[in-house]
Amino acid sequence: MKVTVTGGTGTLGHASARMLLKTGHQVRVFVRSPDKFAQLCKDDRVEVVQVDLLDRSALAVLLEDTDAVIHCANFPPHRFNLSFDAARYLLEGLAPGAQLIYPTNVWAYGPPQDDRVGPDHPKASPARIGGLRGDLEKAILAHGGIVIHLPAAYGPRVTGGWVGAAFEGAFAGRKIRQPGSLDRRLELIYIEDAARALIAPLGRLTMRGREYTAPGYSPISLRELAFLIESATGQSVQLRSRAIGAWRARALLSTKRRLIRDLAYLFECSTLLDGALIRKELGWSPEIDYEEGVRRTVDWLGDRGRESV
């Protein structure tokens, strides 16, 4: 299929492009900076198109021959409103029958009401940004898009977000501080598992307006994760708990992060996703366990300077 990936320079965009190549698709990425993409991927089978997703007329032309879009572009919390425009321009630019797949997080759900959060869990986020996410997901679903909720991703080339920073910090021997209990159960998804989940709906044209939750391999605590990193690097990880109130106060003081302060509940409870529906309908389940995933991540961190792909 001819698949366009938005946000090609981002964590999931870049990983999706690689997975699409691996599985024999024709890949086009939409990026704002082709130079940035070239630093991440030098594979000349990828067609790199420089475009801003807020450029409605350019998108209408560029999407004419696309069979599917994996929409991995993301706007920061203080500019999240722009996500609605970008999604609308993509949906209206797609040819009838073309697919749009949207990866999202768990913010729309709010504190979990069950042991496992499945796609039909109520969307009751106490945070405004969680409500906005939920509204965007609803709009995409109403237009036949496919929404896939994922936990935070980790793995080679994942340098953004708290997970990327934590791995890089641990590898460099810096102190890692995370809000809340270090023994809280959480989930991370290995980056290639996440990319496989995003391409799993491709070509299943009857699956329109479907929503899925794609879990990590299993629940794990930060303390257990630190232990795996220690085993893989042979050096100790300095992991410390930070008060959730302090995290909230820091978010409140930042114009860019203020909107996420009401997501502090995420550090007090365990949001574990239910993979039953995505396994049943799309045949997807996570494959890489934490021991293997951490080993690959640490290997990549060690080799990073020498990588030329």
Ligand X SMILES: NC(=O)c1ccc[n+]([C@@H]2O[C@H](COP(=O)([O-])OP(=O)(O)OC[C@H]3O[C@@H](n4cnc5c(N)ncnc54)[C@H](OP(=O)(O)O)[C@@H]3O)[C@@H](O)[C@H]2O)c1
List residues near ligand X by CB under 6 A: 7, 9-13, 32-33, 36, 52-54, 72-75, 103-105, 150, 152-153, 160-161
CB of 273 to ligand X, least distance (A): 10
Q: Of the two residues 52 and 249, which places its CB atom closer to ligand X in the complex?
A: 52
Smallest gap from Cβ 236 to ligand X, in A, equals 26
Q: Which is nearer to ligand X, 68 or 150 (CB)?
A: 150
Residue nearest to ligand X (CB): 10
In 3D, which of 278, 91, 174 has the Cα closest to residue 165? 174
Please report how close the Cβ of residue 125 comes to ligand X at its closest, in angstroms: 13
Burial class (CB in 10 A: 0-12, 13-18, 19+), 293: buried
Residue 200 CA to residue 129 CA, distance in Å, equals: 28
DSSP per residue over 74-142, as a string?
Answer: ---GGGTTHHHHHHHHHHHHSPTT-EEEEEE-SGGG-S-SSSSB-TTS----SSHHHHHHHHHHHHHHH
CB of 152 to ligand X, least distance (A): 4
DSSP state of 67: S
Give the Cβ contact number of residue 216 at 10 Å.
26
Residue closer to ligand X (CB basis): 13 or 144: 13
Least gap, CB of 50 to ligand X (angstroms): 9
Q: How far is the CB of 62 from ligand X (least distance, A)?
A: 12
Residue 107 CB, shortest distance to ligand X, in Å, is 8
Q: 22 or 236, CB closer to ligand X?
A: 22
Interior CA angle at 222 toward 218 and 228, to 5°? Answer: 75
Parallel/antiparallel/unpaired status of strands 176-179 and 239-242: parallel
For ligand X, give the closer residue by CB, 36 or 256: 36
Q: Which is nearer to ligand X, 58 or 182 (CB)?
A: 58
- Cα separation, 101 vs 123, in Å, equals 19
- Residue number with CB closer to ligand X (59 or 249): 59
Q: What amino acid is encoded at 271 in this protein? A: T
